[in-house]
């Protein structure tokens, strides 16, 4: 994966935020020569993180996308200090953390001025013969 620059973007706290997040992730990763499945996984992870921040996060949503050696880190900051908790999937959702568990290593950090930062690292396999 050639070097790519990360990006930090403030998103509107509304229903358009997940789509905008996907556009940002796609833009950042377009030169990273990712396999299609890894790109799809990154887009889905960004969608889930941003959707949760819009639904539960409060006053702001900030998306960070950082390609790195062996992974892509996608992080979302929001204004709520309430940490994410897995719940049983139902008609009203509850699948977001299950999706994160399946696609990425993830965690959450409390921010010093309130709010939180939820991050996910999607693994980028090393191509055969690279090394």
Residues of the chain scoring pLDDT < 50: 1-3
Residue with tokens 């050639």: 2
Residue 12's Cα: distance from chain center in Å? 16
End-to-end CA distance of the chain: 11
Phi and psi at residue 63, to the nearest 5°: -105, 135
pTM value > 0.85 = yes
pLDDT (0 to 100) of residue 83: 85
pLDDT (0 to 100) of residue 6: 86
CB of 25 closer than 8 Å to CB of 34? no
pLDDT (0 to 100) of residue 76: 97
pLDDT (0 to 100) of residue 129: 55
pLDDT (0 to 100) of residue 69: 85
Separation of alpha carbons 66 and 5, rounded Å:
7
Q: What is the DSSP string of 40-102?
A: HHHHHHHHHHHHHHHHHS-S-EEEEEEEETTEEEEEEEES--PPP-----BTTB--HHHHHHH
């Amino acid at each position: 994966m050639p070097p790519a620059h990360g990006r930090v973007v403030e998103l509107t706290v509304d229903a358009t935020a997940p789509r905008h997040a996907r556009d940002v992730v796609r833009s950042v990763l377009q030169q990273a020569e990712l396999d299609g499945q890894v790109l799809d996984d990154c887009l889905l992870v960004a969608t889930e993180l941003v959707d949760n921040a819009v639904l539960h996060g409060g006053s702001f949503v900030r998306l960070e996308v950082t390609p790195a050696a062996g992974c892509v880190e996608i992080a979302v900051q929001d204004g709520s200090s309430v940490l994410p908790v897995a719940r049983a999937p139902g008609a009203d959702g509850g699948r977001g953390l299950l999706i994160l568990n399946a696609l990425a290593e993830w965690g959450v950090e409390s921010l010093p001025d309130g709010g939180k930062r939820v991050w996910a690292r999607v693994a980028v396999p090393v191509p055969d013969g690279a090394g």
